[in-house]
Structure 1
Amino acid sequence: MRAGRWCKPTPSTVALFTGALTQRQRWWVALLESGCSAAALDGATALQAAGLINFEAATTISCPHGAKPRCVDGAVIHITEWRHSGDLVNVGIPRVRPETAATRGALWARTDRQAALILIMAVQQRLTTAKRLQWELGRIHRHPRRQLVHELIADLTDGVQALGELDFARMCRHRGLPAPSRQVVRRGSRGRSYLDVYFDDYALVVEIDGIGHLGGLQPVDDALRQNAVSLCADTVLRIPVLGLRVAADAFLDQVEEGLVARGWRRAA
């Protein structure tokens, strides 16, 4: 230290070099500063350590139930009974497995939007799968956001459309909007296609896009279909199925705005 070859990034941690710390080194400092021998990166931070990109959040650490870690500047520490012996990756910096990290990260997220983003990015960046997330959530029986996370994971499987046309129609009824038709057949130059939701009297189409609409050539097919409908003078609104989970009111406001613009009025 006196010779200037070492430095102290924190009062109780010594680095055997000088200069700025890398992200991974800052994670190590946070783990050491916690004073908990079983501390591990968790949530979004564990996903970042596993390779997640384009996501920023405070360093998240978990410790087993009964631990008494010290507070660490810039870090959020969760003392949780969810920690199990098989949760940790056996090599490298102490961290939980990606499916564990994504599930807990969604439950601990600041907002529902952030919860959805963590799950989507973990699956889209191939750090884990929706099936593994389902299994992981099955180990957690109580949490205020558990139902939402369960529904988000179901959407990510994209097998059965858990929140689709039927649920959208129910939301419309709840808002006092007119009942739409579902799976309306249209014939065009590319053959037969199906519209998810159609408000017949107001020339308004609503397409409910599942996760599958984000991959491969699906966006191309969606654009061609939407353009064909628009050329027939109908207006098309697109709603991602996850958007109905975390921003339903905002999307339904747009649907109502579209209906009003085309002559619909609420009953007095």
Structure 2
Amino acid sequence: MAGNEAQRSPAPLRPMGAHRRTLAAQLAADHGGVVHRNELARYGVGRNAIRDEIGAGRWFRAGRHTVAIDAPVLGTEALRWWAVWESGAGARLDGVSALLSDGMTGFTAAAIDVTLPARNRHHALAGVRLHRVDCPPPMRGAGIPRVAVELATIHGAQWAVSDRQAALVICLPIQQRLLLPARLQLAWRGVGRSARRQFINAVIADVADGAHSLGELDFTRMARIYGLPTPSHQVVRSGPRGRVYLDISWDEVGLVVEIDGGHHALALNPVDDALRQNDRVVVGERVLRIPVIGFRIVPEKFMQQVRRTYDVLGRA
């Protein structure tokens, strides 16, 4: 008996008073101000000690597992940890929530998306959208449990409330260098079913391959619908910096349309685009620019602009 007792791990020391509160604050600092009860227990802060601190108004009960240190109102990071801890075993951030946790900006989520195994017990939480799946996607790296960026991007686009929002979810991680287009394409090939398959497939091609993904037949078809004559494509012009290629042109009225793929916003491409456009304006041509993603979302608005511009130039 004595031998068995000697082999047991010693119980953790129980920090008291100010030392206990300092320890809890240090643990919570890694989670936006909250700490899991199991983590406190690992350092000797048990149920009774937590109850005493909550009773004294120094700590606050935020859930079955979550204790808030110093403040009862949870901030953004703390809410994400709370959502993962309280949703159920195996929970992880997914979709836009995972992307925001990875540093994506320019998007405000209406709820926290959490994925967890369907076989595990789950708990509905206000402000949390649960996705229960048989085979949850693997989690990435250190920090808060979350899905890899490429899969989170695809899921976020699938769960978006509109095609416009889906396109934004796909574009932002690429533009902010959180994700390489090639990795997104590879992950997308592994997706079996999607309610937005055709649209997402087109947008991923757009951000990965720029204007080349928008075939000449696509634009020509739209031009025909709006009563425009068939334009010329990939027209060669000579300028101060040598030869340039224009995406679309109606030479008879001096109208040029440039289709800007996702790569146009990167590095010095905006400078080159501006110089090329200004050169065409100097020699008397009118240039309209159409972001390729915009053409996917609201093609009618851009084509109305093209139609009006063509008519104005034709009357000049």
TM-score range normalised by the length of the shorter chain:
0.7 to 0.9
Contact 2:224 2:230 in 1 (8 A): yes
Indicate yes or no: 2:74 matched with 1:21: yes
Partner residue of 1:74? 127
| Shift in Å, 1:14 | 4.3
Distance 1:68 1:196 in 2: 55
Q: Deviations over 1:224-243 (max 9, x none)?
A: 11111112222110011121
SS at 2:256 equivalent: strand
- Stretches of structure 2 that go unaligned for 5 or more consecutive residues are 1-53
- Stretches of structure 1 that go unaligned for 5 or more consecutive residues are none
- Of residues 153, 163, 175, the one that matches 2:214 is 163
Instruction: From the superposition, tell whether residues 91 and 113 of structure 1 become closer, same or farther in structure 2 (CA, over 3 Å).
Output: same
Instruction: From the superposition, tell whether residues 101 and 72 of structure 1 become closer, same or farther in structure 2 (CA, over 3 Å).
Output: same
Contact 2:207 2:262 in 1 (8 A): yes
Contact 1:155 1:162 in 2 (8 A): yes
Partner residue of 2:94? 42
Distance 2:187 2:285 in 1: 44
Question: Which entry has the higher C-alpha Rg, 1 or 2?
Answer: 2
Distance 1:151 1:105 in 2: 16
Instruction: From the superposition, tell whether residues 261 and 133 of structure 1 become closer, same or farther in structure 2 (CA, over 3 Å).
Output: same
Structure with more contact order per residue of length (Cα contacts < 8 Å, sep ≥ 6) = 1
Distance 1:66 1:199 in 2: 60
| Shift in Å, 1:46 | 0.5
Give aligned pairs, total. 260
> Which residue identity lines up with residue 304 of structure 2 in the other structure?
D
Indicate yes or no: 2:301 matched with 1:250: yes
Indicate yes or no: 2:178 matched with 1:124: no
Instruction: From the superposition, tell whether residues 172 and 158 of structure 1 become closer, same or farther in structure 2 (CA, over 3 Å).
Output: same
SS at 1:152 equivalent: helix
| Shift in Å, 1:159 | 7.0
Structure number with the higher helix fraction is 2
Q: Deviations over 1:28-79 (max 9, x none)?
A: 1122332x21221000110111222232212111123455633221222222
SS at 1:186 equivalent: strand
Structure 1 outlier segments of 4+, above 4 Å: none
Partner residue of 1:181? 232
> Which residue identity lines up with residue 99 of structure 2 in the other structure?
L
Distance 1:121 1:72 in 2: 28
Contact 2:226 2:307 in 1 (8 A): no
Partner residue of 1:53? 105
Query: What TM-score does the superposition give when structure 2 sets the normalisation length?
Result: 0.75
Partner residue of 1:6? 59
Query: What TM-score does the superposition give when structure 1 sets the normalisation length?
Result: 0.88
> Which residue identity lines up with residue 69 of structure 2 in the other structure?
F
Q: Deviations over 1:8-42 (max 9, x none)?
A: 335x45424121423221111122332x2122100
Contact 1:164 1:208 in 2 (8 A): no
Instruction: From the superposition, tell whether residues 14 and 70 of structure 1 become closer, same or farther in structure 2 (CA, over 3 Å).
Output: closer
> Which residue identity lines up with residue 102 of structure 1 in the other structure?
T
Distance 1:134 1:197 in 2: 27
- Of residues 191, 197, 213, the one that matches 2:264 is 213
Distance 1:65 1:177 in 2: 53
- Of residues 249, 252, 263, the one that matches 1:201 is 252
SS at 1:53 equivalent: coil
SS at 2:218 equivalent: helix
Distance 1:96 1:67 in 2: 18
Indicate yes or no: 2:100 matched with 1:33: no
